[in-house]
Amino acid sequence: MREVQGKESFLVVNTMENPANALWTLAYFAMVFTAVVGNATVAWIVVGHKRMWTTTNAFLLHLSLVDLLGAIFNTIFNFISMKDR
């Protein structure tokens, strides 16, 4: 972090100053990508194949959809929160 002078002093965070920020970004991207692809694959398999329409697979479908939505909508806010620390 560095301080920038102007009317008021404030801190400017450069994401490339700290290699940990790049690693943190890569780790979150990998986590979100894996969650989205994996859960979308489960949903596609269960919905796309009539033979997979069982009670247990319906439960697994709902679990994967909830996890998919959590990965899409919740992870970005957690990422921003952790980057601002």
- Residue 45 tokens, joined: 């398999």
pTM over 0.85: no
**What would the two tokens of residue 17 be?**
């100053």
pLDDT tens, N- to C-terminus, the chain (85 residues): 555 555 555 555 555 567 888 888 899 999 999 999 999 999 999 999 999 999 999 999 999 999 999 999 998 888 888 877 7
Place of tokens 């679990």: 63
